[in-house]
Structure 1
Amino acid sequence: MIRELVVEGFTVFPDKEKFEFVPGINVVVGGNDSGKSHLLKLCYSLAKWSSGGGRKSLPDKWAEELRLRNDLMRVFSSRNLSGLTALNRGNDHAGVFASMIGDGVPDRMGDIRFRFCSTEEEEGLHIDEMPKRFLNNPVVFLTAREVFAIFPSFVQLGAKFPEVLDGACWDLCRALEIPMKLSPDDVALGRVLGRIQKILSGNVIFQDGRFYLSRPGQQAMEMSLVAEGFKRLGVLDCLIRNGTVNKGSILFWDEPEMNLNSFHLPLLVKVLTGLAKAGVQVVLSSHSLFLLRELMIQLSERRNEQVSRRFFGLNVPHENRLGVRVNSGNSLEDIGPIESLEAEIEQADRYLKLV
């Protein structure tokens, strides 16, 4: 899992900010332009880079610097490193520290510290502290982009022209190529899969190079034609059944509530808590008050006592919109008022007065 992250001068974080993650559910809360997606993409890039493991010995540092630089630019779809500094917020130097732990990687053995500057494109990125061991854990990022429609083109053109896809979508398409089983071997993940398929009212199948949603008594429908809110759940269905999402893996999920109506969100939260119980570290972002309240309700139940949780609140102060302030805690109340959530609460109060 990713245990700790410290950033300074990175995109919307001009000042030093520290994030301490838990093995269970980590929730990043904030409005538009608060850096939620940037935080998830950075964590994903580092976890993916570190999980290039399985190597008996570490390669030369310069090679790893180049690989990490390329991974960051691909995931962020950035032309250069200067776009990843907080240059617009008065900081042209970026520094990042991350601590990764996993099977065979004890605490502090997977640490990495690196820096880059907007004026040093040729020299690129400098690693000041190399990990003594790499992870060997699957890492998944469910992005907002729909990949089922992309997949056939990926198969035909992606290998020749990888630049047509951002890094996270490329990785998802590669993971979808792995053959699926009917159900996972792990019982806990089997329960999660059952909840996903209940929301979908069916399961995903792969035929003739395309993915379809198969529902009882209906003709299979191409996933590109399925309702938008179901598509990423369909991807998760596939990744659980092909073993990519399993015990010890990390799942990053940007706004899981996107395009889902509120009726499905309680069951979606059961999917999230079920993944955590199955040993998957979950890092998600959201600004849905309904989802966050449902998450707090279910996490307070006795059946979820063992699920560790951490909330991160990202706020852009009105008096100074050049930097993001970060608060963290074990509940929504610990992270202070979030502008986007406060607006929903205020409207609900006004509506109740109206009726």
Structure 2
Amino acid sequence: MLKALKVSNFTVFGSDVEFMFSPGLNVIVGENGAGKTHVLKLGYLFSRAWPDLTAQRLAVNKERAQAYLAERLADLFQVSDLSALIRRNAKGGAVLQAQVDGHIPTVQIRMADEPEFTSPGLPEAMPWKVQIQRKDQAGLLKATVLPDEVPDAAARNAFLPQQVLVPSKEMVSLFKGLIGLFDKYRDFPLDISYRDLAVAMSTLEPRDRPPLMSDVAQRMQSLLGGDLKLEKGELVFERADGSQMDISLMAEGYRKLAMLIYLLRYGVVERGSTLFWDEPEANLNPAALKLLAEALYALGSAGVQVVVATHSLFLLREFEILQMKSAQGPVNQVPNKYFGLGRQKKDGPVSVTQSTDIADIEPLVLLDESLQQSDRYMEANP
């Protein structure tokens, strides 16, 4: 689970911009170019770092972390020189810090009438601190990554479930052959998160029904009229009557809903996972977006950390409605956090405001523009 992220002079951000994340639902808003996707990618980077570095059961040290982080930063942000990630006109380099909690495997016992545990084990802190230093003055050396802090040996028994980043471009129609294309071509036009997601989706369906397949997921299945399935390395959409439909014939927004159901049914997203999603609202009609909001909220209550970046006022309102309803009813309220990214002056660095109440977030451009549109409508139609 991602607990905290602190960035200094990275891309558009100023000094000591800190994010304190909720274990449940986290929503990032801001105008275009404010760095929402960058926050998702950094959170994803550090959430994946430990399981990637320990996959071969090798000790994690600063030398291995340096090579890994330099490569991943370049691949996630699609830069050939890491100095491009340092904020323009900033003195010195960029500094990235993250606090990630892993899990120590623990025997968990509960009564039959008690709710499921939301954490797969005892938390274990995994701190990261990284500098990105500029080229030398002669311009002979590329920017370098210098890890100042990596998780120590005490975390060697900790594990992190699958961490998933769903990028803004719809993924289902791109799935076929995507991994091979990434591996064949050096300058592939998509960042590495697309390959990561394709690899994560290339798995066998578990025999038992995953516990995260909630009522909301079943309602989404009913809306779609079928399911995504993996057959011979290809994604196919199977209707309820057993017939198949070509993926290219599905509406793009429905492909996104189908992918979320797939991630849950195949166990890619599980309890303890962090699901990062960039603009989940794209190409979804309000009825489908309402279902998606319910699904993401339900995941937050079931032990999945959800971090989304959005431009949708409708999606924000749906999250607020769900939060208010859960405060009144039998469903547990999901811990939440809202983050607003913005600049105090036009070309200045981006800073963040954060709160558990969306009303405290400034600037909230999507709300401001919605109100101004209402005013323009009233003026145009007296």
Question: If the length of structure 1 is used for normalisation, what is the TM-score?
Answer: 0.91
Which deviates the most, 211-220 or 261-270?
211-220
Q: Kindly provide the amino acid, as one letter, of the partner of residue 72 in structure 2.
A: D
Q: Kindly provide the amino acid, as one letter, of the partner of residue 77 in structure 1.
A: Q
Which residue is equivalent to 1:325? 351
CA deviation profile, 1:318-346 (whole Å, cap 9, x unmatched): x3322112100002101123223311121
Percent identity between the two aligned chains: 32
Which residue is equivalent to 1:13? 13
SS of the residue aligned with 1:152? Answer: coil
1:84 lines up with 2:85 in the alignment: yes
Distance 1:305 1:315, change over 3 A: farther
SS of the residue aligned with 2:333? Answer: coil
CA RMSD in angstroms comes to: 2.4
1:214 lines up with 2:238 in the alignment: yes
Distance 1:339 1:92, change over 3 A: farther
CA contact (8 A) 2:26 2:307 kept: yes
Whole-Å separation in 2 of the counterparts to 1:106 and 1:127? 26
Structure number, greater radius of gyration: 2
Q: Kindly provide the amino acid, as one letter, of the partner of residue 78 in structure 1.
A: V
Whole-Å separation in 2 of the counterparts to 1:155 and 1:107? 33
Q: Kindly provide the amino acid, as one letter, of the partner of residue 81 in structure 2.
A: N
CA deviation profile, 1:23-72 (whole Å, cap 9, x unmatched): 10000011111111111111111111123246766333111111011111
Which of 329, 333, 336 is the aligned partner of 1:309? 336
Point out where structure 1 has 5 or more consecutive residues left out of the alignment: none
Which residue is equivalent to 1:111? 127
SS of the residue aligned with 2:144? Answer: coil
1:240 lines up with 2:248 in the alignment: no
Whole-Å separation in 2 of the counterparts to 1:77 and 1:119? 18
Which residue is equivalent to 2:319? 295
CA contact (8 A) 1:213 1:222 kept: yes
Which deviates the most, 267-276 or 229-238?
229-238
Whole-Å separation in 1 of the counterparts to 2:219 and 2:294? 8
Distance 1:157 1:34, change over 3 A: closer
1:176 lines up with 2:176 in the alignment: no
Distance 1:346 1:157, change over 3 A: closer
SS of the residue aligned with 2:7? Answer: strand
Which residue is equivalent to 1:22? 22
CA contact (8 A) 1:189 1:275 kept: no
CA contact (8 A) 1:211 1:222 kept: no
Query: CA offset at residue 234 of structure 1?
Result: 2.2
CA contact (8 A) 2:135 2:143 kept: no
Q: Kindly provide the amino acid, as one letter, of the partner of residue 289 in structure 1.
A: L
Whole-Å separation in 2 of the counterparts to 1:350 and 1:239? 42
1:227 lines up with 2:251 in the alignment: yes
CA deviation profile, 1:128-152 (whole Å, cap 9, x unmatched): 1111226422100010123333322
Distance 1:19 1:155, change over 3 A: closer
- Structure 2 matches for 1:90-109, cutoff 5 A? 90-104=90-104, 109=125
Which of 146, 157, 166 is the aligned partner of 2:191? 166
Whole-Å separation in 2 of the counterparts to 1:351 and 1:119? 52
CA contact (8 A) 1:9 1:95 kept: yes
Q: Kindly provide the amino acid, as one letter, of the partner of residue 178 in structure 1.
A: T
Distance 1:176 1:18, change over 3 A: same
Which residue is equivalent to 1:343? 369
Which residue is equivalent to 1:73? 74
Query: CA offset at residue 79 of structure 1?
Result: 1.4
Point out where structure 2 has 5 or more consecutive residues left out of the alignment: 105-120
Whole-Å separation in 2 of the counterparts to 1:13 and 1:92? 14
Query: CA offset at residue 286 of structure 1?
Result: 0.7
Q: Kindly provide the amino acid, as one letter, of the partner of residue 352 in structure 2.
A: V
Which residue is equivalent to 1:3? 3
Whole-Å separation in 2 of the counterparts to 1:341 and 1:297? 16
CA deviation profile, 1:282-326 (whole Å, cap 9, x unmatched): 000111111111111111113454300000001133x33221121
Distance 1:286 1:208, change over 3 A: same
CA deviation profile, 1:96-143 (whole Å, cap 9, x unmatched): 110011212976730011111222654611111111226422100010
SS of the residue aligned with 1:256? Answer: coil
